Amino acid sequence: MWNLPCLDIVIGSILGDGHLTRPYKAGGNSGLYIKYDDKALDYLKWLHSTLSSIEPLSIKAKVVGGYHQHYFQTRASKKIGDLRRIFYPKGKKIIPLDIKNLLLSPRSLAVWYMDDGTLDNRAKYHRNAMFATYGFSFKDCYLLSGQLKEIFDVDVSVTKCTMRNKVYPRLYVKSCSMDRFISLISPYIHPVFKYKIA
């Protein structure tokens, strides 16, 4: 059985920057891989400790392009392999149609936001949160938008972002829902990422 806080964090990580490893041949087991740079090392250590029930291996470090990265992977297991089959049905991460049965907790929402969220805070103009959902399709993002409204009563629009002449989807929390959104996630925001809700 899943430990609920652990499952919430795993779901949030999958929606964000977390990666589920390719299944091992014996049993289709997978592991969760998470990495962060120096600035978020304390958060990575917190994740490592909090995910103890799925047996994270030791935190390691590497230098990529002059940047220090820290990462860990959990031991491969069937329960993570089951999530791999849901989120990677053809090898590429997608949003499953039954996401409403998985994205249920504000804790998952907070973990996802800490990974992919930014706060566009312009005095006298607006204060809106955004999710950089560039790895997902527009169809996936509309599905997520509906889920956020249905489960959390948070209104989110799907907008376009152009990078290197390519158009990507991005989720934008509407002003009418910002107070509710922040109230939902703030209890779960790690001190490293407090600037994302300030």
Which domain CATH number covers 116?
3.10.28.10
Residue 101 lies in a domain: no
- Check whether residue 67 and residue 111 sit in a common domain: no
Q: Are residues 98 and 3 in contact, defined by beta-carbon separation less than 8 angstroms? A: no
Same domain, 117 and 169: yes
Task: Please check whether residues 76 and 132 belong to one and the same domain.
Answer: no
Residue whose tokens read 């996936």? 140
Q: Does 189 share its domain with 113?
A: yes
Counting the structural domains of the chain, the total is: 2
pLDDT at 3: 80
Q: Does any domain span residue 121?
A: yes
Is 156 contained in some domain? yes
Q: pLDDT at position 52, please?
A: 94
Residue 159: the pLDDT is 96
From CA 94, how far away is CA 88, in angstroms rounded? 6
* pLDDT value of residue 67: 84
Q: Domain containing 86: what range? A: 4-92
For residues 8 and 77, state if they share a domain.
yes
Which amino acid belongs to residue 92? K
Indicate whether 135 and 69 sit together in one domain: no
pLDDT tens string, the chain, 198 residues long: the values are 678 789 999 999 999 999 999 987 667 899 999 999 999 999 999 999 999 999 999 999 999 888 899 999 999 999 999 999 999 999 999 999 999 999 999 999 999 999 999 998 876 677 899 999 999 999 999 999 999 999 999 999 999 999 888 999 999 999 999 999 999 999 999 999 999 998
Q: Would residue 82 count as lying in a domain?
A: yes
